[in-house]
Structure 1
Amino acid sequence: ELLLGQIADTNAQALGVALAEFGVAHYRRTTVGDNRERAARAIREALGRAELVFTIGGLGPTEDDLAREAIADALGLPLETDEATLDALRKRCEALGRPWLESLARQARRPAGAEMLNNSVGTAPGLVVRHEGKTVVALPGPKGEFSAMLKEHVRPLLSALSGTVIVSKVLRILDMPESMVESAVADLIHSENPTVAPLMHAGEVHLRLTARAKHRADADAAIEPLADTIRSRFGAKLFDDEPAATILQALRLAGLKLAVAESCTGGLLGETLTRVPGASDVFLGGVIAYSDEVKASLLGVARTDLNQFGAVSETVAIQMAAGVRRALGSDYALSITGVAGPGGGTEAKPVGLVFIGLSGPRGDLAIERRHGGTRELVRARSVSSALALLREELVRG
């Protein structure tokens, strides 16, 4: 699939980032098809240039999963069965109620003397083979399995090789364009240790703070003053942890309930909140009021205002929030109404125009935002704006 261009090799990209973080020189990457001889030759050539070689993919149970065989061939080692892994595979199949297939036993095969790496997400274990001063690490190809193994096994291995600990902390900024975020921390971006890297995500800008030290405590101590400086610049728009979880916890500690009313986001705000485990003790529910009739009949939005100002307006956003708060009996309520695109925009109300409403103990209000990007980006950014608005209201008390 890689050679045919059907998928992109994001795993190799993630591995390259990890190698760079730990100061491990990374000079070459090779893509080989599912051919045992060619794969073994590529591994043999790589071992002629480097002390540490990674392979990605080819650890599954099918005939074209040839990483184990290719590594054994390249190193001149026989294959053997790891009985503990074989037993674990049988027990996992039994626990899942699946029939045992002999092909699954391939995943318990290893070059002689190899260390098996536990796969916490899937069935195919990884491998570490140390032979004649060289090390080969075999990792699974599926993204979730690869990412888990990178975190649980590869990063500790790289840390041991480099003699340093790399610690990163991510700060999330909502409801602010990337250019404004970067401008606010421009004087910090070129620092060397810890470093600051802006990263754009749908609806959020992340600032990744990374420190290198001999011990975890030293890295943490280097990051925290920098994190405090950045927190002071963004206020309530900055989140140390996942924004929805942070807001739900704040509401939980205060004994408060939340409801939402959504138009252009079509339930995305509610989905974002309910993605957090335990949301049900704070989040009461929501209304997807996509049509004007639903806005009027279920949320009590005045039909005269819908006719005069249109659904995408400040007054309708306020009435939507107040209406769902009243209907569900919540302490706070959020609403979103806007033009997500790609069509439906006008000169007066272009695509990306969104109004976010909030109703709470201190009263009702609405903010206007003009988001750019695709339909999905407008929707994601609208959700982020709503979460940021509620966070700011909660901080004000």
Structure 2
Amino acid sequence: MTHAEILTIGTELLLGEIVDTNTRMIAIALRKNGYDLFRTGTVGDNPERIAASVSDALERSEILITAGGLGPTVDDVSREGVALGLNLELEFREDLWEQIVERFKAFGREPTENNRRQATVPVGSIGIENPVGTAPGFIVELDGKAVIALPGVPAELEYLLQHEVLPYLRTRLETPAVIKSRTVRTAGIGESWLDERIQDLERMTNPTVGLAAHPGRVDIRITAKAATEYEADEMLWGVEATLQQRLGNGIYGTDDETLEFAAMAQIRKAGWRLASVESGTDGALERALSEFEEVFAGGEILPDRIAVDELDQALKRIQDELEAAAGLSLRVVTSEENVEIRARFHSPDGDWELDRSFGGAAPNAARFAISLALDAVRRGIENP
């Protein structure tokens, strides 16, 4: 199995001044192409620390992809750091300089003297031409391993990753395994409850199973590594079948399917249209349902802490006005000590009520309440 690591370089990343989107971009590309991502890290603009990170990474992995620090300024020191970590000298490359000059000509400009730094790379490097920017990347091959240095501008990195790096990896290194993932989405069941029922699955090493909690929802991510796509799919489906057996209608979908979609699919299947009223949610329920124009007739946002009888009257009124067979009301009252959630669903097949109260402040109370309400809609229509 070929292992890979990612090292993002830049003091601004360490200080939290900019968000690191490059690690995610590279990680997704590696996973989709079957490379096992072993570790990610961030280091500031310091040659010695970059060097230590490079040498440490190559002790563990066959591929190291760095992002950032290839610009023309004195604090762009990735070239020096990589060279130091590999015990190599730097050399000025005329071919890379010509590429830089041509790029500047295309912009109607002339490069300055400090741009010559961008044509300086570790001795023996494979240059990576950058047709969408001015900073070339480079690859250093050493003892069957590779350090791939890319610019940190996300658009440039993405282009070089897809058009240069991945083709290089496919031709130069061991053919990777197939890595495939599937996300099983659940609602109405807590993370702790879920963990108790699938601990044996979470202990597996291939496929792996992990949990990610969100307000009112928990995702189960399954990842399989295999020699072929068919074998990986078989492994994924086997675990998913076990989850379906254990969790039943606690599962509302997979991958890109949302709880909103699952609930509104049941409304559509019943042949109804839905109207809503809400209080204390800042309109979050209406925003969540607005894309389902075929079945969502519309909603109304009411004042915070509205009396429950006024809320019920408002729901009846808007259902009549919009000629909606189904109606959903949601009221959330929050304080520093307590959160109260009240939901009511009315339909031709019957009504249901949901009341929850729990202590403590809840910054995600509205999202949690919407998850509870939509899951109850989904389950109630599935099993009236």
The answer to whether the aligner puts 1:164 opposite 2:151 as a matched pair is no
| Structure 1 CA distance for aligned equivalents of residues 18 and 267 of structure 2 | 42
Whose strand fraction is larger, Structure 1's or Structure 2's?
2
Aligned to 2:68: 57
| Structure 2 CA distance for aligned equivalents of residues 60 and 82 of structure 1 | 16
| Structure 2 CA distance for aligned equivalents of residues 64 and 259 of structure 1 | 57
The answer to whether the aligner puts 1:34 opposite 2:48 as a matched pair is no
Query: How do residues 290-329 of structure 1 correspond to structure 2 at under 5 angstroms?
Result: 290-291=303-304, 306=307, 311=308, 319=313, 321-329=315-323
Q: CA RMSD in A?
A: 4.9
The answer as to whether partners of 1:32 and 1:38 remain within 8 angstroms in 2 is no
Aligned to 2:328: 334
TM-score by length of 1: 0.67
The answer as to whether partners of 1:203 and 1:377 remain within 8 angstroms in 2 is no
The answer as to whether partners of 2:92 and 2:119 remain within 8 angstroms in 1 is no
Secondary structure of 1:339's match?
strand
Secondary structure of 2:194's match?
helix
Aligned to 1:270: 286
Aligned to 2:4: none
The answer to whether the aligner puts 1:357 opposite 2:344 as a matched pair is yes
- For residues 225-267 of structure 1, give each alpha carbon's deviation from its aligned partner in whole angstroms, at most 9, with x where no partner exists: 2212212333333121222233345545665433322112221
May I ask how many residue pairs the two structures share in their alignment?
A: 353
Aligned to 2:247: 234
Identity among equivalent pairs (%): 27
Secondary structure of 2:199's match?
coil
Aligned to 1:303: none
- Residues 148 and 81 (structure 1), Cα distance of their counterparts in 2 relative to 1, 3 Å cut: closer
Secondary structure of 2:243's match?
helix
- Residues 211 and 336 (structure 1), Cα distance of their counterparts in 2 relative to 1, 3 Å cut: same
| Structure 1 CA distance for aligned equivalents of residues 207 and 261 of structure 2 | 27
The answer as to whether partners of 2:282 and 2:301 remain within 8 angstroms in 1 is yes
| Structure 2 CA distance for aligned equivalents of residues 332 and 43 of structure 1 | 59
Aligned to 2:8: none
Secondary structure of 1:280's match?
coil
Query: How do residues 41-120 of structure 1 correspond to structure 2 at under 5 angstroms?
Result: 41-42=51-52, 45=55, 49=59, 51-58=62-69, 64-67=75-78, 71=82, 76=89, 77-78=91-92, 80=96, 113-115=126-128
| Structure 2 CA distance for aligned equivalents of residues 207 and 360 of structure 1 | 32
| Structure 2 CA distance for aligned equivalents of residues 339 and 139 of structure 1 | 50
The answer as to whether partners of 1:72 and 1:78 remain within 8 angstroms in 2 is no
The answer to whether the aligner puts 1:377 opposite 2:364 as a matched pair is yes
The answer to whether the aligner puts 1:137 opposite 2:148 as a matched pair is yes
User: How far off is 1:49 after superposition?
Assistant: 4.4
| Structure 1 CA distance for aligned equivalents of residues 134 and 266 of structure 2 | 40
| Structure 2 CA distance for aligned equivalents of residues 124 and 246 of structure 1 | 47
Secondary structure of 2:281's match?
coil
Aligned to 1:300: none
| Structure 1 CA distance for aligned equivalents of residues 219 and 25 of structure 2 | 17
The answer as to whether partners of 1:357 and 1:364 remain within 8 angstroms in 2 is yes
| Structure 2 CA distance for aligned equivalents of residues 174 and 357 of structure 1 | 18
The answer to whether the aligner puts 1:260 opposite 2:247 as a matched pair is no
- Residues 338 and 280 (structure 1), Cα distance of their counterparts in 2 relative to 1, 3 Å cut: same
- Residues 165 and 319 (structure 1), Cα distance of their counterparts in 2 relative to 1, 3 Å cut: farther
| Structure 1 CA distance for aligned equivalents of residues 199 and 109 of structure 2 | 57
Aligned to 1:366: 353
Unmatched 5+ stretches in structure 1: 94-98, 296-305, 346-350
Aligned to 1:180: 193
Query: How do residues 279-294 of structure 1 correspond to structure 2 at under 5 angstroms?
Result: 279-291=292-304
| Structure 2 CA distance for aligned equivalents of residues 140 and 242 of structure 1 | 35
| Structure 1 CA distance for aligned equivalents of residues 250 and 161 of structure 2 | 31
- For residues 337-372 of structure 1, give each alpha carbon's deviation from its aligned partner in whole angstroms, at most 9, with x where no partner exists: 122332xx5xxxxx1221121122213221122356
The answer as to whether partners of 1:56 and 1:141 remain within 8 angstroms in 2 is yes
| Structure 2 CA distance for aligned equivalents of residues 260 and 101 of structure 1 | 61
- Residues 39 and 384 (structure 1), Cα distance of their counterparts in 2 relative to 1, 3 Å cut: same
| Structure 2 CA distance for aligned equivalents of residues 252 and 110 of structure 1 | 62
- For residues 92-143 of structure 1, give each alpha carbon's deviation from its aligned partner in whole angstroms, at most 9, with x where no partner exists: x9xxxxx99979x99x979563346899xxx799956143444123356588
- Residues 353 and 47 (structure 1), Cα distance of their counterparts in 2 relative to 1, 3 Å cut: closer
| Structure 2 CA distance for aligned equivalents of residues 257 and 59 of structure 1 | 56
User: How far off is 1:162 after superposition?
Assistant: 6.5
